[in-house]
Amino acid sequence: MSDDAHVLSAVWMSDHPVDRAVVMSAIDTVLEKDRVARAREHRLRVGSLVPLALLLPIMLWAAAHGVTPLVRGAYALMAAGGAVIVFAEWSYLEWSRQALPGPADARSQLQKAAFMLARQVMLMNTAPIWSSPVFIGVALIGVWLYWERTHAEAFVIWTITTAGWLATALGTIAVRARLNERKLQMERLLGELQ
């Protein structure tokens, strides 16, 4: 349990009248921490979204002008996967923006932020699936290299692809854990407000 939740528990269980300032201070602290975390995530996501969006036209060009149907299909798959990733990142950023506290009461701010965090956790749960077309496309390039070039190049591509997919899965686990922690903290505060 966070320090802020302990403050609220102590206030609720005390025999003294509830000091509204202490309760509001604890809620404001949690909402401010959430706002700072969202701002940091926003900068990182925009920074990763721009290069990916710039790669999409290149992948589409390669899909149209690849040397073989396998290569064209691989680049088309990567372009489709990249488009899905751009859309998912855009959705994530939009949900983050929507979850920012507005000029409402503390309870509704906490509820809104917790709800948006739950949506973001769901998106992170499925990230390895919706990002898979990119990795499958790269693996198909490895198949082409195996057939047309050298086996060593193919194995290097496959190793990098597997490592990238695993890194994506592990990264989403870490992000999901942080989002869940923030969501649970808000839900605990909501429980304390009842």
* DSSP count for the chain of H helices, then E strands: 7, 0
pLDDT in tens, 29-76: 777 777 787 777 777 777 777 888 788 888 889 888 888 999 999 999
Q: With bands split at pLDDT 50, 70 and 90, how would you rate the model's confidence at 1?
A: very low
Helix (H, G, I), strand (E, B) or coil at 101: coil
Q: How many whole angstroms separate alpha carbon 166 and alpha carbon 171?
A: 8
pLDDT at 155 over 80: yes
Is the pLDDT at 82 greater than 80, yes or no? yes
- Mean predicted confidence (pLDDT) in 79-98: 80
Task: Name which of 90, 92, 66 is nearest 79 in CA terms.
Answer: 66
